[in-house]
Structure 1
Amino acid sequence: MPTQFSSSASTVRGLTRAALCTACACLLAPVSIPIGPVSLTLGVFAILLAGALLPPALAALSACAYLLLGFAGLPVFAGFAAGPGVLFGMTGGYLLAYPIMAWLLSMVCEKTRSRGVRMAGVALANLCCYLLGTAWFMAATGMGLWASLSACVIPFILPDLAKGWCALWLAERLR
């Protein structure tokens, strides 16, 4: 019996941590600075924090829960936006990449304690977001590659890497 109880307690603990990461995303992501069609938001920080703190499945689950809350109408997206129109709008690809980002970073963090390799995981997670989001943006707007990269990726590279570094730093402290 103790093993079964320990497993159950571990599951509850993991789901609680995932829910707290979802709440963190819901609180931080609406804080944004519009700098074009895509806003500079703390949502990326929250998603990377989930990836740095949680096992891969729970990290992705946390990001999916955040997206579902926004889809359902809670104002948790950039600028306190909400609903399917945001999730499937011209910048929705960046949001839909969040579970992949969290899962990828979590996979890297699970394999190594090296800060350099973990930062490479942050870069890889951001690259996935940029690829999916920019392809979606181009399909939705008809803008070309260079114009889309100039508006939706280039201004975000350094801030997103800084958010990733901060997420890794905070995750180390929280552990």
Structure 2
Amino acid sequence: MKTYEIVVCALFAALMAIGANVSPFLTIGGVPVTLQLMFAILAGGLLGSRLGSFSMMAYVCIGLAGAPVFAQFKGGPASILSPTFGFVLSFIAVAYATGKLLSEPAKKAAYLYTGAVVILLNYVIGTHYMYAAFRWWAEAPQGFSYAVAWSWMAAYLPLDLAVIALSLAAVPKIRLALSKRSVYIIKE
């Protein structure tokens, strides 16, 4: 990797840590509300699939190593046992998919398609992990089922769709602003 690539990956790993803790104590149904989805989309959209996903992997590794970078200032290997850790893992896939789908100058339809893929990846990976965690090692609430796990996500859907739309709308504008200032943009 080039020095510039290492720096921008570290920058997006740091932005994820900030985004995880913008509202450290705002939770809905035990799940913290964060801006991590936005930074995962921006990482993939601006850095490309390889570096975007690498920056998200770096973020996960930093958190698992013990730095308090996950939501609510948590970190360490025990984070794997958290029912919401699947959403953290999904950010790697979100950044990769965003980078792949927006690697060429995209039309508006590509952004809509990317948004659909992003929400699917985030929810499928995160919700399945949450369901498995509650079933196998976490204390499941009374009456918890697969349908309940998915119904919990309905509370987040409007916010997540708004974040996805704003993030995807920002990608071409940021790319254009960086290209006008002769800032190096990574192409895959």
Q: 1:119-134 counterparts in 2 under 5 A?
A: 119-134=112-127
- The answer to whether the Cα contact below 8 Å between 2:87 and 2:122 also exists between their aligned partners in 1 is yes
User: Secondary structure in 1 aligned to 2:83?
Assistant: coil
Per residue, is there more helix in 1 or in 2? 1
Instruction: Give 1:132 deviation, angstroms.
Output: 1.4
Q: Distance in 1 between matches of 2:27 and 2:166?
A: 21
Larger mean CA deviation between 52-61 and 105-114 belongs to: 105-114
Which letter maps to 1:120?
Answer: Y
In the alignment, which of 9, 12, 19 is matched to residue 18 of structure 1? 9
Q: Distance in 2 between matches of 1:28 and 1:170?
A: 16
Q: Distance in 2 between matches of 1:67 and 1:44?
A: 14
Instruction: Give 1:112 deviation, angstroms.
Output: 4.2
Q: Distance in 2 between matches of 1:169 and 1:16?
A: 24
1:160 corresponds to: 160
Inter-CA distance 19–115: structure 2 relative to 1 (3 Å threshold): farther
Under a length normalisation based on structure 1, what TM-score does the superposition of the two structures give?
A: 0.85
Instruction: Give 1:164 deviation, angstroms.
Output: 1.6
Under a length normalisation based on structure 2, what TM-score does the superposition of the two structures give?
A: 0.80
- The answer to whether the Cα contact below 8 Å between 1:29 and 1:44 also exists between their aligned partners in 2 is no
1:31 corresponds to: 22
Q: Distance in 2 between matches of 1:27 and 1:40?
A: 12
Deviation string 1:103-149 (CA, Å, 9 cap, x unpaired) is 00111110342233223212212211211111111111133122101
In the alignment, which of 44, 53, 59 is matched to residue 46 of structure 2? 53
Deviation string 1:17-56 (CA, Å, 9 cap, x unpaired) is 2221111111111123211132221111111111111111
Q: Distance in 2 between matches of 1:61 and 1:16?
A: 12
Q: Distance in 1 between matches of 2:81 and 2:61?
A: 12
Q: CA RMSD in A?
A: 1.7
Which letter maps to 2:151?
Answer: S
Which letter maps to 2:108?
Answer: R
1:116 corresponds to: 109
User: Secondary structure in 1 aligned to 2:103?
Assistant: helix
Q: Distance in 1 between matches of 2:4 and 2:108?
A: 26
Q: Distance in 1 between matches of 2:80 and 2:20?
A: 13
Identity %: 28
Which letter maps to 2:11?
Answer: L
Instruction: Give 1:87 deviation, angstroms.
Output: 3.1
Q: Distance in 2 between matches of 1:15 and 1:172?
A: 22
Which letter maps to 2:109?
Answer: G
Instruction: Give 1:150 deviation, angstroms.
Output: 1.7
Is 1:148 the counterpart of 2:149? The answer is yes
Q: 1:61-140 counterparts in 2 under 5 A?
A: 61-140=54-133
User: Secondary structure in 1 aligned to 2:102?
Assistant: helix
Which letter maps to 2:60?
Answer: L
1:169 corresponds to: 169
Unpaired segments ≥5 residues, structure 2: 136-143, 176-188
Aligned length: 165
User: Secondary structure in 2 aligned to 1:54?
Assistant: helix
